[in-house]
Structure 1
Amino acid sequence: MRSGKLDRTIRIDRYSAGVPDDFGTVEPVWTALATLRAQIVQASTEEFIRAYGASDETVVIFRTRWLSGVVNADRIHYEDGYYNIKEVKEIGRRNGLELRAVRAA
C-alpha cells in the first residue's frame, strides 16, 4: 500500500451505551477509536424503490492501514458525514483494511 494514495482522513467511532442519568435514561455515546489516513477506492450512489418510496444509498469503499479490532458495529466519520460499516476485509497479512460503508441517513 503506497502512502501517497492515502489522501483522505477518516475517524472510526465506537458505540458505547454510556451511563444512566438521574432519571435512568441511557444516552448512546460514540467515542473516537482512531483517526486514520485512507484512500477512497470506490464511491457510488444507487437509487432503490422501497415500500416507503424511492431512496438513495451512497456506498463508499475506504482502504487504510491495518487497525486491530474494527468491527461492523463501528462507524466512520468522513467529511461531515457518518458511514455505517457493512464489511471489514483484511488486505494481505495485516497490511491494511478495506472498509465498505453506507452513508447513514
Structure 2
Amino acid sequence: MRAGKLDRTITIERQTETIAPSGSVSNGWTPVATIRAEVVQQSANEFLSGFGEAENSTIIFRLRYVPGITTADRVTYNGTAYDLEEIKEIGRRRGLELRAVATA
C-alpha cells in the first residue's frame, strides 16, 4: 500500500449509548479513529423499490490496518455518513478494504 494514494481523510465512528441522570437513554456516534484512506470506487445506483425509485450511493475505501473495526461501525467522509457493509483484510494485517453504503 503506497502512502501517496492515501489522499483522503475519513473518520471511523462507533455507536454509543449515553444515560442521563434522569434515566433517559440517548444514542450517538463517537469517533474511534481519523485516518488517511484511498477512495477506490464511488458510484450511485438508482433502483426500483417498493416505494418508488431510490438511489444507493456506494463507496470503497482502502486504508492501513486498524484493529477492531466491525460492520456495526460507520465511516464519515466529506460530511456524509456511510454504513459499513463489508470489511476485507488486505494481506496479513497490512490494510483494510471497507465497502460502505450512504445512510438515508
Distance in 1, matches of 2:24 and 2:81, equals 24
- Structure 1: 4+ residue segments shifted above 3 A: none
Q: How far has the Cα of 1:25 moved from its partner?
A: 2.4
Q: TM-score, normalised by structure 2?
A: 0.96
Unaligned runs of 5+ residues in structure 1 are none
Give the alignment's TM-score, normalised by structure 1: 0.95
**Alpha-carbon distance, 1:27 to partner:** 0.8
1:50-91 deviation digits (Å, cap 9, x = unpaired)? 111100000000000000000000000100110000001100
Output the amino acid matched with 1:5.
K
Count of aligned pairs between the two proteins: 104
Aligned to 1:18: 18
Q: Which has the higher strand share?
A: 2
Where 1:71 maps in the other structure, the secondary structure is coil
Which deviates further from its counterpart, 72-81 or 13-22? 13-22
Structure 2's unaligned 5+ residue stretches are none
Counterpart AA for 1:102 = V
Distance 2:40 2:66 in 1: 18
